[in-house]
Structure 1
Amino acid sequence: MRADRLVSLVLLLRRHGRLSATALARELEVSTRTVLRDIEALSAAGVPVYAERGRHGGFALLPGFRTELTGLNHDEALALLVAGSRRGAQAFGLGSALASAMRKVVDALPESYRATAAGAAERLLIDPETDLLSRRVVAEEVPDAVVAAVRRAVFAGHKLRIHYAAAGQAARWRTVDPIGLVTVREQGYLLAAKAGEDRTYRLSRIVAAEELPEPAQRPDRVDLDRAWQERGTRFRAGGDQVSALVRVNPARREELVRTAVAVLAEDTDADGLLRLEVTFQDRRHAEWALWQLATGAEALAPPWLRAALHDRAAAIAARYVTPS
């Protein structure tokens, strides 16, 4: 506990420059006497903490003092920031940087902590490549050169030229203003603007990329979470979306809701089944989603959806008729 508090004390002084014993005690939730003892301990350990007396006095670190991991480069530091999702680091082309950064972190640990940390790490598994049913999580493959060029343009605020193959179309070159990168369920996306209009590009469909020297036309700050939600709302509102009226077993409701674009209405029938009006991206999506639920759901409308599911079930039944 005290070691953690000493580290926190140093970080507070690093961040604020100078703090009184009272302010430090408040931040650390200890007494001022404890703060004074901690200051003495830091000084004895060689940390250059000095006191300034007077009305605006307090404790501060000598200018230029830093506590840092030696040799940590830009990509390694960036990888640590996205290390909350190991797959996120992979999606942004930072997998090798993350591995290198973690080796340096381990090397910077006190000798007494290394064995303990290694043993604890063996007890944790985050985001395995398969689930309990042995279904493999397939991540999209993006060439390192492509994602590196995209990443550089995003961070530098430069225009980006990409050779992009939209779904069902041949690849063509386009110049965009990159805004940020997003990863969702193993898929990476570039949020950008083109001629002032919002655009979203899947990283796996970028065949080649080139960072340009011209500055990108974009705001200085961005709320990526909000931008992603707004684009998702516009996406769901457009295209060839279809609505369906579905009766579903309550036990299968979450499966239906999870795959649908939106739930427009919901009610409970007298027999306990749920009646939902839901929206799907298109006809193919609607048929696929309800087929996954088998007898756990029934499409009541539109008629073409009932007919499509009937025809598919009839074809499967015919295939498995016992030979005479």
Structure 2
Amino acid sequence: MRADRLVSLVLLLRQRGRMTADALADELEVSTRTVLRDIEALSSAGVPVYAERGRHGGFALLPGFRTELTGLNHDEALALLTAGSGPGEQVFGLSSALASAMRKVVDALPEGHRASVGDAAQRFLIEPETDLLSRRLVTEDVPGMVMSEVRRAVLAGHKLRFHYAAPDKTPHWHTVDPIGLVTVRDRAYLLAAKSGEDRTYRLSRMLAAEELLEPAQRPDQVDLDRIWRERSARFLSENHIPVLVRVKPARREELLNTARAVRAEEPEADGWLRLEVTFEDLRHAVWALWQLGTDAEALAPESLRAALHDRAAAIATCYEESSPE
């Protein structure tokens, strides 16, 4: 790990020029004392790093100390930097590793490519923290130690033991055969098997985790995309209420923000949209569609239409009565 840190330190000085020990420590997530020891080690190894004293001093490399890699063209380097600029790197606990990798990519580019790629990458923004309606994207927090243990077990092919807090249940321990990790809208899931049965766990609900030495019982090759589609379809068919609804296009996003999933969508001749969505239960469906007023109409199931009718009738009756004195 120290070797990686030394490389990152050199790359930071190459790309940013003179930096203080405090700035390097913040970037590398270590103490200032560690940075000073690393600087001394680099100097002893022949890396031309020197200190500049004074108010605006710091550490720097002698000009021209760099290597260049010409294997990446402009668009290939831009693709890597753009992919690394999104929030997804936070999900699996790899943000520091990705930042280090991006520094190496940029540093290895020829001088001409480096400048143009850096400018181009500033023109792309991937998944900002808020949308145009100022709604913040919520990234679920996964403890670093939990993420590290889960990731190691998945990659090593070992069994995983973890303490899991399912909704409305007492937390208890599980031992599973991990298959892979999936992230959807900044939520991370573990796909696993338990006693031969398919299981899906949300990482943010894991309170503790431990990689075991016992090999996991799982196939050598895996198609995570296919497995995720199958499990998603199964999830939507269990313990959820399907709803057929008409909605004005202007209110579509509000409907989707309250629904659990969308199974189908098609336009109607009058300009409205017909969607098949799922909600957790009848109460959830009534609440969601009530927010849309007359801009949406539930077509099925009949129990939902009846519940909305009864609620509207109760409200109408309330306001038909004479005003209180």
| Structure-1-length-normalised TM-score | 0.64
Residues 57-84 of structure 1 deviation map (CA, whole Å, 9 limit, x = unaligned): xxxxxxxxxx989xxxxxxxxxx79946
Give, in whole Å, the separation in 1 of the partners of 2:273 and 2:133: 28
Give, in whole Å, the separation in 2 of the partners of 1:164 and 1:138: 21
Q: Which residue of 2 aligns with 1:298?
A: 297
- CA drift at 1:166: 0.6
Give, in whole Å, the separation in 2 of the partners of 1:122 and 1:265: 36
Give, in whole Å, the separation in 2 of the partners of 1:276 and 1:124: 32
Give, in whole Å, the separation in 2 of the partners of 1:169 and 1:145: 23
RMSD: 3.6
Does the aligned pair in 1 maintain the 2:85–2:125 contact within 8 Å? Answer: no
- CA drift at 1:95: 0.9
- CA drift at 1:167: 1.0
Does the aligned pair in 2 maintain the 1:262–1:280 contact within 8 Å? Answer: no
Give, in whole Å, the separation in 2 of the partners of 1:219 and 1:200: 17
Q: Which residue of 2 aligns with 1:144?
A: 144
- CA drift at 1:163: 0.5
Q: Which residue of 1 aligns with 2:204?
A: 204
Residues 142-188 of structure 1 deviation map (CA, whole Å, 9 limit, x = unaligned): 01111110000000000000101111112111100000000001100
Does the aligned pair in 2 maintain the 1:246–1:277 contact within 8 Å? Answer: yes
Q: Which residue of 2 aligns with 1:215?
A: 215
Q: Which residue of 2 aligns with 1:283?
A: 282
Assess, with a 3 A threshold, how the Cα gap between structure 1 residues 262 and 308 changes in structure 2: closer, same or farther.
Answer: farther
| 1:113 and 2:113 are equivalent in the alignment | yes
After TM superposition, list the pairs within 5 Å mapping 1:33-44 onto structure 2. Answer: none
Give, in whole Å, the separation in 2 of the partners of 1:124 and 1:265: 30
Give, in whole Å, the separation in 2 of the partners of 1:295 and 1:261: 22
Q: Which residue of 1 aligns with 2:195?
A: 195
Give, in whole Å, the separation in 1 of the partners of 2:219 and 2:152: 17
Assess, with a 3 A threshold, how the Cα gap between structure 1 residues 293 and 204 changes in structure 2: closer, same or farther.
Answer: same
Does the aligned pair in 2 maintain the 1:266–1:277 contact within 8 Å? Answer: no
Assess, with a 3 A threshold, how the Cα gap between structure 1 residues 277 and 193 changes in structure 2: closer, same or farther.
Answer: closer
Q: Which residue of 1 aligns with 2:86?
A: 86
Q: Which residue of 2 aligns with 1:61?
A: none
Assess, with a 3 A threshold, how the Cα gap between structure 1 residues 248 and 313 changes in structure 2: closer, same or farther.
Answer: farther
- CA drift at 1:280: 2.8
After TM superposition, list the pairs within 5 Å mapping 1:2-17 onto structure 2. Answer: none
Amino acid at match of 1:180: G
Residues 34-64 of structure 1 deviation map (CA, whole Å, 9 limit, x = unaligned): xxxxxxxxxxxxxxxxxxxxxxxxxxxxxxx
Give, in whole Å, the separation in 1 of the partners of 2:138 and 2:166: 20
- CA drift at 1:116: 1.9
Q: Which residues of structure 1 form unaligned runs of 5+?
A: 1-66, 70-79
Give, in whole Å, the separation in 2 of the partners of 1:213 and 1:163: 17
Assess, with a 3 A threshold, how the Cα gap between structure 1 residues 108 and 284 changes in structure 2: closer, same or farther.
Answer: farther
Give, in whole Å, the separation in 2 of the partners of 1:228 and 1:202: 13
- CA drift at 1:277: 6.1
- CA drift at 1:227: 0.3
Could you tell me the percent identity over the aligned residues?
62
Does the aligned pair in 1 maintain the 2:177–2:192 contact within 8 Å? Answer: yes
Does the aligned pair in 1 maintain the 2:157–2:178 contact within 8 Å? Answer: yes
- CA drift at 1:99: 0.9
Amino acid at match of 2:284: H
- CA drift at 1:304: 4.8
Q: Secondary structure at the match of 1:132?
A: coil
Does the aligned pair in 2 maintain the 1:192–1:198 contact within 8 Å? Answer: yes
Does the aligned pair in 2 maintain the 1:236–1:281 contact within 8 Å? Answer: no
- CA drift at 1:312: 9.8
Does the aligned pair in 2 maintain the 1:264–1:277 contact within 8 Å? Answer: yes
Give, in whole Å, the separation in 1 of the partners of 2:232 and 2:99: 33
Give, in whole Å, the separation in 1 of the partners of 2:125 and 2:267: 40
Q: Secondary structure at the match of 1:226?
A: helix
- CA drift at 1:305: 3.1
Does the aligned pair in 2 maintain the 1:280–1:286 contact within 8 Å? Answer: yes
Give, in whole Å, the separation in 1 of the partners of 2:205 and 2:165: 5
Q: Which residue of 1 aligns with 2:248?
A: 249
Assess, with a 3 A threshold, how the Cα gap between structure 1 residues 135 and 308 changes in structure 2: closer, same or farther.
Answer: farther
- CA drift at 1:233: 1.0
Does the aligned pair in 1 maintain the 2:69–2:109 contact within 8 Å? Answer: no
Amino acid at match of 2:307: L
Residues 254-298 of structure 1 deviation map (CA, whole Å, 9 limit, x = unaligned): 7647836455898958x7756666543322431343234333102
Does the aligned pair in 2 maintain the 1:299–1:305 contact within 8 Å? Answer: no
Assess, with a 3 A threshold, how the Cα gap between structure 1 residues 277 and 174 changes in structure 2: closer, same or farther.
Answer: closer
Residues 237-262 of structure 1 deviation map (CA, whole Å, 9 limit, x = unaligned): 111x2244534335545764783645
Q: Which residue of 2 aligns with 1:164?
A: 164
